Structure 1
Amino acid sequence: MVTCVVRDWQGQEVSEATLDLRVAKEENAAHIVHRALRLQQVNGRQGTASAKTRAEVRGGGRKPWRQKGTGRARAGSIRSPLWRGGGVIFGPKPRDYDIKMNRKERRLALRTVLQSRASEDMIVVSDFKEQLSRPKTKELLAAFTRWGIEPDAKVLLILDEREENVYLSARNVAKLKLLSAANLNIFDLLHADKIVVSAEALAKIQEVYSE
Structure 2
Amino acid sequence: MVDCVVRNWQGEEVGQATLELKVAKEENASHIVHRALVRQMNNGRQGTANTKTRAEVRGGGRKPWRQKGTGRARAGSIRSPLWRGGGIIFGPKPRDYGIKMNRKERRLALRTALQSRAEDMVVVENFATQLPRPKTKDLMAALDRWGISAGEKVLLVLPEKQENVYLSGRNVAKMRICLADSLNVYDVLVADKIVTTADALAKVQEVYGD
TM superposition score category, shorter chain reference: over 0.9
- Tell me the residue number matched to 1:54: 54
- Tell me the residue number matched to 2:11: 11
Question: Post-superposition shift, 1:64?
Answer: 1.1
Runs of 4+ in 1 over 2 A off after TM superposition: none
Question: Post-superposition shift, 1:113?
Answer: 1.1
Question: Post-superposition shift, 1:9?
Answer: 0.6
Counterpart AA for 1:179: C
Question: Post-superposition shift, 1:202?
Answer: 0.5
**Unaligned stretches of 5+ residues in structure 2:** none
Q: How far apart are the structure 1 equivalents of 2:44 and 2:186?
A: 12
Counterpart AA for 2:169: A
- Tell me the residue number matched to 2:75: 75
Counterpart AA for 2:66: R
Q: After TM superposition, list the pairs within 5 Å mapping 1:88-127 onto structure 2.
A: 88-118=88-118, 120-127=119-126
**Unaligned stretches of 5+ residues in structure 1:** none
Q: Which moved more, 1:174-183 or 1:45-54?
A: 45-54
Percent identity over the alignment?
75
Counterpart AA for 1:79: R
Counterpart AA for 2:201: L
Question: Post-superposition shift, 1:69?
Answer: 2.1
Question: Post-superposition shift, 1:90?
Answer: 0.5
Q: After TM superposition, list the pairs within 5 Å mapping 1:111-150 onto structure 2.
A: 111-118=111-118, 120-150=119-149
Q: How far apart are the structure 2 equivalents of 1:133 and 1:114?
A: 30
Counterpart AA for 1:94: P
Alpha-carbon displacement from aligned partner over 1:147-199 (angstroms, at most 9, x marks no partner): 11111000000000111101111111000000000110000000000000011
TM-score, structure 2 length as denominator? 0.98
Q: How far apart are the structure 1 equivalents of 2:131 and 2:202?
A: 21
Question: Post-superposition shift, 1:74?
Answer: 1.4
Q: How far apart are the structure 2 equivalents of 1:109 and 1:98?
A: 18
Q: How far apart are the structure 2 equivalents of 1:130 and 1:159?
A: 13
TM-score, structure 1 length as denominator? 0.97
